[in-house]
Amino acid sequence: MKKIRKAIIPAAGLGTRVLPATKAQAKEMLPILDKPAMQYLIEELVSSGITEILIITGRNKVSIENHFDVSYELEMQLEKKGKFEMLEEIDKISNMANIYYVRQKLPLGLGHAVLKAEAFVADEPFLVLLGDDIMYTADKKPVSLQLIEKYNELGKECSILGVQKVPKKDVNKYGIIEIEDHVDKNTFSVKNFIEKPDINEAPSEYAALGRYVLDPKIFKYLKNTKPGKSNEIQLTDAILDMLKHNNSLYAYEFDAIRYDTGDKLGLFKATVEFGLRNEELKDDIREYLKELGKKL
């Protein structure tokens, strides 16, 4: 069984839920406190032992490449001013992983974006991280590492959906799994995977939330997937087709706090909560929130 060594991050979406902030800026580069969302994803992967990363970009996404590139002028100025701690942090960003880029020229769906990674992935199992989903795990294992270890534990070629329970009123916003059997407390074999079901027709409250391990056979099914709603090729459709052909599909309930940073409220919550965890700022932020609460 081949090891998981590579990850892809589809980042070509237009970010319409947080317009106008994303009119000329990549949604993945919107800051959560003092770091762009994309950096949290890269750090999660590096902490999970993954340093071969492909980012699927689109128009207006050049800032992603710039952020992870060397910035000679900035680094020279920081060195001149003796800001060596900040210089070390900036230098670390451009050296933390081998990051590659390919452009999705038209917004033809998540499945189409993943298909762009075929040459990079070749015949190896791989991780997919969605740019809207930022995970906080404190001193626990990063979510990507949780999925890698579960894949290794299962010990066979398969795909795994990272899932958590969502409120029943929200099941129509997500891809929801139908459980076939319980493997262990946090792992289920999947019978069906339904994209945005009606609330009363959802087979469970377990939603796929932005983390996947995919078998490389997915590319064969993506090539045969017909465009659906909005003329987009859906990853869910290809996963279902692969499941119908007796390829193993599991769901793993990961341990993390998940933030939907592609949503205005989710981005705000992430900024506040990461701020409250910041040693330098947490006391001032807590005091500010207390005073604000008195005024409301």
In the chain, where the domains are located = 6-295
Neighbours of 212 (CB within 10 A): 22
Please list the pLDDT of the chain residue by residue as tens digits (296 residues).
799 999 999 998 877 888 888 888 888 999 999 999 999 999 999 999 999 999 999 888 899 999 999 888 898 998 888 989 889 888 899 999 999 999 998 888 999 999 999 999 999 999 999 988 999 999 899 999 999 999 999 988 999 999 999 999 999 989 999 999 999 999 999 999 888 899 999 999 999 999 999 999 999 999 999 887 778 899 999 999 999 988 899 999 999 999 999 889 999 999 999 999 999 999 999 999 999 999 88
pLDDT at 53: 97
6-295 classified as CATH 3.90.550.10: yes
Token pair of 247 as six digits: 């390829």
For residue 92, give every residue at least 6 positions away whose Cβ sits within 8 Å of its Cβ, in sequence order, or none.
none
pLDDT at 186: 95
pLDDT at 15: 77
pLDDT at 17: 85
Token pair of 229 as six digits: 């709603």
Q: Which of 189, 196, 162, 174 is nearest to 246 (CA)?
A: 189
Pair 117, 54: CB distance under 8 Å:
yes
Round to whole Å and give the CA distance between 215 and 158: 6
Q: What is the CA 123 to chain-centroid distance, rounded? A: 22
| Length of the chain (residues) | 296
pTM: 0.92
Pair 50, 6: CB distance under 8 Å:
yes
pLDDT at 64: 93
Round to whole Å and give the CA distance between 129 and 108: 18
